[in-house]
Amino acid sequence: MTIDEILKEIANAGFPIVVAVYLLVVFGGKLDRLSNAVEKLSRYVEGLSKK
């Protein structure tokens, strides 16, 4: 995406929408990895409590 396209999208969609989409794209993968890590930790803690 070029800077002209980005500026056009900001003008068309509004700044908050562009920022929200950017944050979803950037942090989406990180949130998935964090969710997987929490799930693994939960299973590990459950395993410790059964011993």
Helices assigned H by DSSP within the chain: 3-13, 15-50
CA 47, chain centre distance (Å): 29
Segment 8-21 shows an average pLDDT of 82
Segment 27-46 shows an average pLDDT of 91
Give the residue carrying structure tokens 């942090």: 27
Domain ranges of the chain: 3-50
Q: How confident is the model at residue 12 (pLDDT cuts 50, 70, 90)?
A: confident
CA separation for the pair 45, 51 (Å, rounded)? 10
Rounded to the nearest 5 degrees, what angle is found at the Cα of 18, between the Cα atoms of 14 and 19?
115
> In the predicted model, is pLDDT for residue 45 greater than 90?
yes
Tokens of 33: 């990895």
